[in-house]
Amino acid sequence: MKNLKLTKPIALLLSGLMLVSTFTVTAAAAETDNGSGNDSSKVGQSISEVMELLNATTYAEYKVTHKEKALGKNAITIAGTDYDTEKTDAKVSVDTYGGEKALYTPELGTVVYNVDVPSDGLYMIEMDYYPIAGKASNIERALRIDGKIPFKESRYLSMTKIWKDDLSDIGESDTAFEQDPLGNDVRPMAIEAPDWATYEFKDATGYYNEPFQYYLTAGTHSLELEATREAVAIGSITLKPYDAPKSYEEVSAEYASKGYKAVSSDATVKIQAETPVRTSTSTVYPTYDRSSAISEPQDASKIRLNTIGKTTTWQSVGDWVEYTLTVNETGLYYIVPRFQQSEQPDMFVSRKLYINGELPFAEAGTLQFAYDDEFQAKPLNDGTTEFQFYFEAGKEYTLRFEVVLGNMAELISEIEASLVNLNQIYLKIKQITGATPDQYRDYNFIELIPNELNLLIVESANLYDFSARLEAITGERGSNCATLNEIARIADRMGRDEDEIAKNLSKFKANIGTLGTWMNTARKQPLQVDFFSVQSPDVALPKANANAFQAFAFEMSQFVASFFTDYNSLGSEAGGEGESISVWVTTGRDQSQIVRQMINDMFTPQYGVPVELKLVAGGTLLPATLAGNGPDVAYMGGSDPVNYAIRNAIQKLDGFDTFDEVCARFSDQAIVPFTLDVTDNPATEEDEGEAAGVYAIPETQSFSMLFYRQDIFADLEIEVPTTWDELKAILPVLQSEYMEIAMPQKLAGFTLLYYQRDGELYADGGMRINLDSNLALDTFKELCDMFTQYKFPLTYDFANRFRTGEMPLGIADYTMYTQLNAFATEIRGLWAMMPLPGYEMEDGTVNNTATTAVSGLVMMADAKNPENAWKYIDWITSTDAQSRYGNEYTALLGNGTIHPTANKEAMMNMNWSSTELETLMAQFNKLRATPEYPGSYIITRYVDFAFLDAYNNNADPVEAMLSQYIFINKEISRKRAEFGLDTLEMGETLASRAEEAAAAETGEAE
């Protein structure tokens, strides 16, 4: 412990020194940025924001700077409605919430409060707030004081909302949850239950266990709360000195002096963990454990919701779960959870316990749950002491368990700081050497990056220290320590001997990656709890695991039950009068269960149509249709709908009366790939246009966005490109630093550029491909040049290289945003998403159309009841259904996922902040889809061949394309002939045919 105390200030001092050096670099960049002046305002602003963030100190440093400062004296409270009307730019309004007057603040804009501080000192800030029901995300705000961010973490303040399980459907039954027709428990839907709550301004990542203490001098200050996510009503804001909670030692001494005694053995009260009163988020919900025979309740063949937090659903810092407790006997109790922590080997996870909204003692903030494969039942403890709690009979207590990092917090935050430094060093070295350094070359690192070399040695010492501390905290020398030691060893060698740098760089990078991954896991605190037994310390602990006999009996009955249960059937809701329809989904089991639940709650009650939902493997639809066992409604994407349509396997949908209404939900382009266009068909004149029409209704729609690293762009003093010319202009700057750009290639890249120039992929109504036009050839050449002349990489892992900064600019699917947001936490706030670059048109506007891919729902040709099937398609693609599906999807699968809905309005209701949505919508309104015609599969391969010919063999792109497009036309004609459609001869166009016909006519006439 002594060692720890000594090294901490040294480490902080050194990291402070290092920060000074980066500060100078970024400050210089900021100056030039301001000097250039003619930035496009949006990008300029965001770069200045990045600057602000880069220059801000961390709270750890802020704490050191203000260590000597005294605590503030008195508490100061400002009512929420007393805001500064002049400086506030958010559209606020005063309203009554839960019986109290409060200030409504929307998800956009800043609210400013002026506060008179009587004396200098450190103040923590508390806010009474009322969450406004909205999306499935926390409320996020940034706090500036007098226009400045005091420290980085102050930008990410996160207030939880209040949710509860909707148990209104249970009615008279005596089960805890609603059950489906097969007798399985059904997960209740989480609904928002807004109520007044208090938020202490604290770190959203959980790196600091205490609330933030802001240093304020005497006088008037302005507190500026900038909204980043979700609306909230502010009741009041209180500044007060931080009052550290008592230690357990003090509290238990107090109990002893008051003569509190342990309760008698029959005072035990059990709280089932799966039925919390309230939770902070919809992602913490009742789960089912089928591994242990004695989980309560348990059944061999039916699903019984019996735990909370299984499969890492209750693990993110800040998530809490609340229970109420009333005991029959006054006295001291143990709280004994029966829990399982089998996700974090060699580590413990932590929880913070609030009783009636307060910490009973300091150690209740760092409760530990050790690792074990099996269930455990141990009184709440902090690794050393098992705690006793005092409860009075008849009084109702609320117990809130909140996810915290506990005793790991400090260590994790320091390792992350180290990781950021190591990453920067790696990037610096890579800018000198490129991806594959030559170990025999003298790069002269000592001259070029002396600071970085010193820093490597410093960080190495830090890492050795972290490893020792980790071992001390967890009591084990696990693989995590080994990783830390390994990086420390390499960093030390690289720092001391510059010849070792090139040799070890790839190993260094791999280890940084490992460390980053470990950081991400270590931040998660997964815990599954079956129940809490509140009992006398003198009674035996509840049994943690089933004995051999129980386990055997349970497994046997599970085995027997497996012969009688159809696990694939998701059941059909009885009760609807109408004829039932069958729907096949190919998604994961979790997603299909959301749909099942939604059908039960929304569809069947409203339309009276029961739905038989089946989860099937992909590729089963075709054989099932062949055998006549297909469903009524199925999900399909790509070219399948048109392929099925032209073979009369699915029904045309534009005849249904609400068709236009349904189509209005999507962008015009979304139904393009689902439209069968065979009107130019003189061969079958009698049913001309009969088959033509729309055959599917869109459900998901994906498109690309541009991602870029703000910090790197600021560092290199370059702007984010909005046109291809600008992109090519910054290319030399990036490439001189060995940085690359991710660009779609082959057909995807071609259509992107081609559509931005208003090109058409097909000509003559799908009878031939339009790749021999001048525009197409020109575009294709431009694409090939990007990869041959400008050397864009063809194979890469975008997410990884974006994180390391090797690929600071790239085009990727927009869902990458949520992924990076959730997993690349080390670059949080340092990157952004933008609409794609485009071509500058003659009128000065930029055409930055993106290509889009759609998947949707189809109705099979032999659907028994088309009207009912249509009702389902209509309903599932509606805004209500899509919004709910999207929110539950994110809730269930975590923050790294998002449902890419095709419904325009539902898109607004997804888990996006208003600024993110604005950016997305800017692109969403400029999409273009490729139409589908018979034979479309052939295009990809021949365009790819032409592209690879140009790339591999330096062939002339134009010639490469001209030699391949004929094959495409040949196949299209062949395929059209198969369906009895009109075809063109080689080299013929509709126009040339008309001319010939005219010529022949005139010839005949003569």
Interface with another protein, residue 85, by CB under 8 A:
no
Q: How far is the CB of 738 from another protein (least distance, A)?
A: 10
Binding pattern for the stretch 44-83 against another protein, x by CB under 8 A and - elsewhere: ----------------------------------------
Binds another protein by CB under 8 A, chosen from 622, 841, 997, 999? 622
Q: How far is the CB of 976 from another protein (least distance, A)?
A: 13
CA atoms of 961 and 942, how far apart (whole Å): 8
**Contact range with another protein by CB under 8 A, out of 12-20, 189-197, 481-489, 948-956:** 948-956
Binding pattern for the stretch 971-1000 against another protein, x by CB under 8 A and - elsewhere: ----x--x----------------------
CA atoms of 509 and 201, how far apart (whole Å): 36
CB closer to another protein, 433 vs 913: 433
Q: How far is the CB of 173 from another protein (least distance, A)?
A: 46
Q: How far is the CB of 513 from another protein (least distance, A)?
A: 12
CA atoms of 13 and 8, how far apart (whole Å): 9
Binds another protein by CB under 8 A, chosen from 156, 196, 215, 945? 945
Tokens of 633: 């409604």
Coil/strand/helix, residue 85: coil
Interface with another protein, residue 741, by CB under 8 A:
no
| CA 488, chain centre distance (Å) | 32
CB closer to another protein, 439 vs 815: 439
What residue type is 774 in one-letter code? N
**Contact range with another protein by CB under 8 A, out of 430-438, 461-469, 516-524, 827-835:** 430-438
Interface with another protein, residue 952, by CB under 8 A:
yes
* 773-832 positions binding another protein, by CB under 8 A: 791, 793-797
Binds another protein by CB under 8 A, chosen from 75, 435, 472, 997? 435
Q: Count of H helices and E strands in the chain?
A: 28, 41
Q: How far is the CB of 767 from another protein (least distance, A)?
A: 18
Binding pattern for the stretch 463-502 against another protein, x by CB under 8 A and - elsewhere: ----------------------------------------
Q: How far is the CB of 616 from another protein (least distance, A)?
A: 17
Is 584 in contact with 164 (CB distance < 8 Å)? Answer: no
* 641-660 positions binding another protein, by CB under 8 A: 643-644, 647-649
The string of DSSP codes covering 783-851 is HHHHHHTS---SS--HHHHHHHTSS-EEEEETTHHHHHHHH-GGGTTSEEEEPPPBEEPTTS-EE--EE
Binding pattern for the stretch 379-418 against another protein, x by CB under 8 A and - elsewhere: ----------------------------------------
Binds another protein by CB under 8 A, chosen from 146, 195, 438, 959? 438
Coil/strand/helix, residue 346: coil
CB closer to another protein, 625 vs 779: 625
Q: How far is the CB of 788 from another protein (least distance, A)?
A: 10
Secondary element (H or E) of residue 134: none
Binds another protein by CB under 8 A, chosen from 142, 921, 948, 990? 948
Coil/strand/helix, residue 705: strand
Q: How far is the CB of 756 from another protein (least distance, A)?
A: 25
CB closer to another protein, 2 vs 441: 441
Instruction: Compute the radius of gyration of the chain from its Cα atoms.
Output: 32
Burial 444-473 (b: 16+ CB within 10 A, else e): ebeeebeebbebbbbbbbbbbbbbbbbbeb
Tokens of 456: 């490597």
CB closer to another protein, 80 vs 437: 437
CA atoms of 956 and 939, how far apart (whole Å): 19
Angle (CA) 803-423-719 rounded to 5° is: 55
Binds another protein by CB under 8 A, chosen from 626, 977, 998, 999? 626
CA atoms of 990 and 762, how far apart (whole Å): 12
Number of residues that bind another protein (CB under 8 A): 31
CB closer to another protein, 475 vs 623: 623
CB closer to another protein, 59 vs 644: 644
Tokens of 33: 């940025």
Tokens of 391: 């409860």
**Contact range with another protein by CB under 8 A, out of 382-390, 462-470, 824-832, 946-954:** 946-954
Binds another protein by CB under 8 A, chosen from 828, 951, 966, 983? 951
Is 355 in contact with 398 (CB distance < 8 Å)? Answer: yes
* 214-233 positions binding another protein, by CB under 8 A: none
Positive or negative CA dihedral for 196, 197, 201, 207? negative
Binds another protein by CB under 8 A, chosen from 69, 290, 941, 993? 941
Is 421 in contact with 68 (CB distance < 8 Å)? Answer: no
Q: How far is the CB of 692 from another protein (least distance, A)?
A: 18
Q: How far is the CB of 716 from another protein (least distance, A)?
A: 21
Q: How far is the CB of 697 from another protein (least distance, A)?
A: 20
Among residues 886, 579, 720, the alpha carbon closest in space to that of 42 is found at 720
3-state secondary structure 268-328: CEEEECCCCCEECCCCCCEECCCCCCCCCCCCCCCCCCCEECCCCCCCCCCCEEEEEEEEC
Q: How far is the CB of 435 from another protein (least distance, A)?
A: 5
Q: Burial level of 395, CB count in 10 A (0-12/13-18/19+)?
A: exposed
**Contact range with another protein by CB under 8 A, out of 469-477, 493-501, 545-553, 639-647:** 639-647
CB closer to another protein, 372 vs 944: 944
Interface with another protein, residue 158, by CB under 8 A:
no
Q: At what angle do helices 879-893 and 589-598 cross, to 10 degrees?
A: 140
CB closer to another protein, 42 vs 647: 647
**Contact range with another protein by CB under 8 A, out of 216-224, 433-441, 463-471, 772-780:** 433-441
Taking the CA atoms of residue 111, residue 117, residue 121 and residue 124 in that order, the dihedral angle to the nearest 10 degrees is -40
CB closer to another protein, 472 vs 626: 626
Positive or negative CA dihedral for 731, 737, 738, 741? negative
CA atoms of 915 and 897, how far apart (whole Å): 18
Which residues are at the interface with another protein (CB under 8 A)?
435-439, 506, 622-623, 625-626, 643-644, 647-649, 791, 793-797, 937, 941, 944-945, 948-949, 951-952, 975, 978
